[in-house]
Amino acid sequence: MHRILARRQLSDEVFMMTVEAPLIAAERKPGQFIILQVDDDWGERIPLTIADADPGAGTIT
């Protein structure tokens, strides 16, 4: 499980989140995305684009 460290609303329908994910931050490539699922069993799976990564901090945005 990865933690959401920050969430900022950029417009009515757009949010920016910073997620603690050291392995993804170190290995991600352009065009890749993650699947966010709030609940392990019943949560909806939401694809999110990786806009930026900080391998030193182990975070993706």
What does each C-alpha distance from 16 to 33, 35, 40, 41, 42 come to in angstroms? Answer: 14, 15, 22, 25, 24
The number of residues in the chain equals: 61
pTM for the model stands at 0.82
**What is the secondary structure of 8-52 as a DSSP string?**
EE-SSS-EEEEEE-HHHHHH--TT-EEEEESSTTTPPEEEEE---
Domain residues of the chain, as ranges? 4-60
pLDDT tens readout for residues 1-57: 789 999 999 999 999 999 999 999 999 999 999 998 887 778 889 999 999 999 999
- The two tokens of residue 38 are 């709030």
